[in-house]
């Protein structure tokens, strides 16, 4: 059975507002996607979350998003490919400075686009290239986390970057192997036991489509979400289940 990376979006609090269960979930994941202060987070939260990741020996990732706290980075913002490149470089720079301030020997492990930027760049040639180029110009050994099977995965690999193809613990898939649109019923898996079985299938290289048939799906990393009521219990259950495989 292959080793699978478990990642989680973190550092999304800012000011006096708290989101997620970062401290409780951090011990149960492999990689943390830390908000860089644009779609969520702020400088203090970035420092706190980086230190927490270092404490638990968790990989540090730059979670790059649109400058859109009101929409939590989930709204599409019309930008040129050059602007997306600059947006990405800026956030990598901020995260890198904080990581080095916390530990001169540490570095950013990976980059994962967030929300609308993730979806827009996954299968858009110019936006994909903008993010790939930003990584190559800032830190070529940084891993790109991207939607499994996407154009961005192919472009990043062709350019020489290391890519982790990503699947989701709480999202169902169509018979074509794509994520079921959130507008459709049963797009999100709410039952933790079903989610665990879903993840076990992904680790084996398959995912169940909407018709019930198994679809081949290659994934190197699986995203779990840390802001639900049962998020901590699910993270604990998932780690225990994977250890038994």
Residue 198 domain boundaries: 5-243
Q: How far apart are CA 197 and CA 208, in angstroms?
A: 10
Q: What percent of the chain has pLDDT over 70?
A: 99
How far apart, in whole angstroms, are the C-alpha atoms of residue 142 and residue 144? 7
The answer to whether residues 73 and 116 touch, using CB atoms and an 8 Å cutoff, is yes
Q: From CA 7, how far away is CA 53, in angstroms rounded?
A: 12
This prediction's pTM: 0.94
pLDDT at 178: 85
Lowest mean pLDDT among 96-110, 157-171, 217-231: 217-231
Residues 14 and 229: beta-carbon distance below 8 Å = no
Residue 193 has what DSSP assignment? H
d(CA 142, CA 5): 15
Average pLDDT over residues 20-49: 96
| Total number of domains constituting the chain | 1
Determine what percent of the chain falls in helix, strand and coil, rounding each to the nearest 5: 40, 20, 40
- What per-residue confidence (pLDDT) applies to 120? 94
Q: By C-alpha distance, which of 211, 185, 189 is closest to 200?
A: 189
| Distance, CA of 110 to CA of 64 (rounded, Å) | 11
Please list the residues that pair with 206 across neighbouring strands: 216
**199 Cβ contact partners less than 8 Å away, ≥ 6 residues apart:** 4, 169, 222, 238, 241, 242
CATH number at residue 191: 3.20.20.370
1 pLDDT band (50/70/90 cuts)? Answer: low
- CA–CA distance from 59 to each of 9, 31, 117, 173, 198 (Å)? 12, 4, 22, 27, 24
Q: What is the pLDDT of residue 129?
A: 98
What sign has the CA pseudo-torsion 114, 228, 12, 69?
positive
Alpha helices (runs of H) in 105-149, residue ranges in sequence order:
115-122, 125-138
Name the band, by pLDDT with cuts 50, 70 and 90, for residue 244: confident
Mean pLDDT to the nearest integer, 208-223: 93
DSSP result, 154-170: HHHHHTT--EEEEEETT
């Amino acid at each position: 059975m292959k080793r699978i990376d478990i990642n989680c979006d973190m550092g999304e609090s800012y000011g006096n507002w708290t989101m997620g269960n970062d401290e409780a979930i951090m011990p149960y994941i492999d990689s943390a996607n830390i908000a860089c202060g644009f779609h969520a987070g702020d400088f203090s939260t970035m420092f706190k979350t980086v230190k927490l990741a270092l404490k638990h020996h968790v990989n540090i990732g730059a979670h790059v998003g649109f400058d859109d706290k009101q929409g939590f980075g989930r709204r599409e913002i019309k930008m040129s490919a050059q602007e997306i490149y600059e947006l990405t470089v800026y956030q990598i720079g901020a995260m890198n400075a904080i990581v080095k301030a916390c530990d001169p020997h540490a570095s950013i492990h990976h980059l994962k686009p967030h929300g609308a930027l993730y979806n827009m760049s996954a299968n858009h040639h110019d936006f994909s290239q903008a993010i790939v180029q930003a990584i190559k110009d800032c830190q070529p050994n940084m891993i790109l986390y991207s939607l499994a099977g996407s154009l961005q995965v192919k472009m990043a690999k062709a350019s020489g970057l290391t890519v982790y193809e990503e699947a989701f613990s709480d999202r169902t898939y169509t018979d074509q192997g794509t994520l079921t649109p959130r507008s459709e019923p049963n797009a999100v898996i709410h039952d933790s036991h079903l989610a665990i079985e879903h993840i076990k299938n992904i680790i084996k290289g398959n995912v169940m489509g909407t018709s019930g048939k198994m679809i081949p799906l290659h994934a190197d990393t699986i995203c779990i979400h840390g802001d639900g009521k049962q998020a901590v219990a699910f993270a604990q259950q998932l780690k225990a289940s994977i250890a038994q495989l």
